[in-house]
Amino acid sequence: MKTFLTYLDESDALNPQFPYGGSSIGPGLDQYVPVADLNAQSEKEIKKSDLDQVEKYADRIFASLGIDVEFTRHFLDRVNDKRNVKQITPAELTRLFKQSFKKYGKKIAQLGPDAEAVINDMKTDINMPFVLNLKGGELELIAKTVMRKKDFKTSGPKMSFENFINEKRAKQAVAGGKVQKLVTAFGYSFNGKNYKEIDMELVGIDNSSKIVTFNIIHPAEIFGYEIKIPFKNLRRGRYRATDTSKINEAPRIPRKKGQPAGSDSHSDLYTDENPKGTIHGLKFATVKDAKASVSKIEGSGKKHAHKIQAAIAMEQRAKEMGKTAEAGVYRAYIEKMKKITQQRREKWWTGLKTEF
């Protein structure tokens, strides 16, 4: 009868590509020899046809800005240059144009003819110097060359962007260990009802209990209520930095006959669906009335977000009645408050300390 060691010896003899063993059915640990290069596709040189496809893609996305993209002859040579160390791929060039358009498209269009700059992808270390030319009344973005080089130096403007994932993380409720001043909770259940979105304003952070306290500022039916959220929950994907333009400029949707008060499907201009905290006596009949009402809002003692919402409601009521000048009084106050909001956000962002 053969011993176990005999089987091992015979197995190694039948598999000469594995000269030393430890396994009766193949190579031992760390002895696998690859039979194919799974990355071979990414090492292929870019052909003119590949570059043509990238150019068509770039033309398509930059067309909305009135910009045509062109590559120089040198570009094709340099994209396959050994000095890149790692072969530049069509996918990386596609990303380069996609992300640069997303972050700098409008800025590039404003540079005008003869302007020069460098687009820099910090994830792939790819750099693309370009110049803008005016040809036949159309702006051309000429990609002069391209190279993969870390810490690329240039004396001109450098338009850099980071990893797309990192840019997305910057919009989360918690970033860099700090909490955003305004946060939106998506798909959140409150008082037994599920809401698609709840916008909240940061009130305080208790590091000992690891709890963050917010006041609800939207939707109107639960405005002013308080929410306490644990640190660990606030880091999850359902919580994001609030799009302030959505809050400050949200359009009013009249309530239709038969719709219940407080419904998510409407926001009535003339019905007070949440009397709690209402600032009474606000008017818009004359400019004098509007100014007096703004003073009343300012001295109401309500929270910052509450004052903005009251002013927005009055502005929209005035607009509905064709009171343009009166609406302008409220608009001026809203703009003033929006600047304060931005200043507060910046202050919280730079000065807030937490144990996240």
Domain boundary among 139, 166, 193: 166
* 98 assigned to some structural domain: yes
What is the 3-state secondary structure of 240-289? EECCHHHHHCCCCCCCCCCCCCCCCCCCCCCCCCCCCCCCCCCCCCCHHH
* pLDDT of residue 169 exceeding 80: no
Q: Which position has the token pair 């690859």?
A: 34
Domain boundary among 246, 277, 308: 246
Cis ω for the linkage preceding 254 (within 30 of 0): no
Which residue, among 333, 328, 285, has the nearest Cα to 310 in the 3D structure? 333
* pLDDT of residue 245 exceeding 60: no
Strand boundaries in the chain, DSSP class E: 67-71, 116-121, 126-135, 138-143, 147-148, 158-161, 174-175, 178-179, 182-190, 193-206, 211-218, 226-230, 239-241
- Domain check: are 111 and 153 in the same one? yes
- Domain check: are 277 and 334 in the same one? yes
* 255 assigned to some structural domain: no
Cα separation of 246 and 268, whole Å? 17
Query: For the residues of 42-93, what is the DSSP string, one character each?
Result: GGSPPPHHHHHHHHHHHHHHHGGGTEEEEE-HHHHHHHT-GGGSS---HHHH
* pLDDT of residue 78 exceeding 80: yes
Give every CB contact of residue 352 below 8 A, 6+ residues apart in sequence.
178, 179, 205
* 312 assigned to some structural domain: yes
Higher model confidence: residue 228 or residue 27?
Answer: 228
Whether 356 and 174 have beta carbons less than 8 Å apart is answered as yes
* 100 assigned to some structural domain: yes
- Domain check: are 111 and 207 in the same one? no
- Domain check: are 71 and 127 in the same one? yes
* pLDDT of residue 234 exceeding 90: no
Which residue, among 186, 204, 183, has the nearest Cα to 195 in the 3D structure? 186
pLDDT digits (tens, 9 = 90+) for 116-151: 999 999 888 999 999 999 887 788 999 999 999 988
* 135 assigned to some structural domain: yes
- Domain check: are 124 and 199 in the same one? no
Higher model confidence: residue 65 or residue 237?
Answer: 65
pLDDT digits (tens, 9 = 90+) for 303-330: 887 788 888 888 888 887 788 899 899 9
Return the pLDDT at 302. 84
The neighbour count for residue 24, using CB atoms within 10 Å, is: 13
* 355 assigned to some structural domain: no
Domain boundary among 166, 199, 233: 166
- Domain check: are 239 and 328 in the same one? no
* Structural domains in the chain (count): 4
3-state secondary structure of 136: coil
Angle between helices 287-298 and 304-320 (to 10 degrees): 160
* 217 assigned to some structural domain: yes
- Domain check: are 284 and 306 in the same one? yes
Q: Which helix (H) or strand (E) holds 349?
A: helix 324-351
Cα separation of 106 and 115, whole Å? 14
Domain with 158 in it: 46-166
Cα separation of 339 and 343, whole Å? 6
- Domain check: are 60 and 126 in the same one? yes
* pLDDT of residue 350 exceeding 90: no
Cα separation of 260 and 251, whole Å? 19
* 251 assigned to some structural domain: no
3-state secondary structure of 1: coil
What average pLDDT is seen over the chain? 75
* pLDDT of residue 172 exceeding 60: yes
Lowest-confidence pick of 1-15, 78-92, 240-254: 1-15
- Domain check: are 162 and 179 in the same one? no
Angle at CA 13, nearest 5°, toward 11 and 17?
95
- The mean per-residue pLDDT over the stretch 283-301 comes to 90
- Domain check: are 67 and 152 in the same one? yes
Cα separation of 2 and 21, whole Å? 18
Q: Residue 35 carries which DSSP code?
A: S
- What is the CATH number for 182? 2.30.30
- Domain check: are 147 and 51 in the same one? yes
Return the pLDDT at 291. 93
- Domain check: are 236 and 289 in the same one? no
* pLDDT of residue 84 exceeding 60: yes
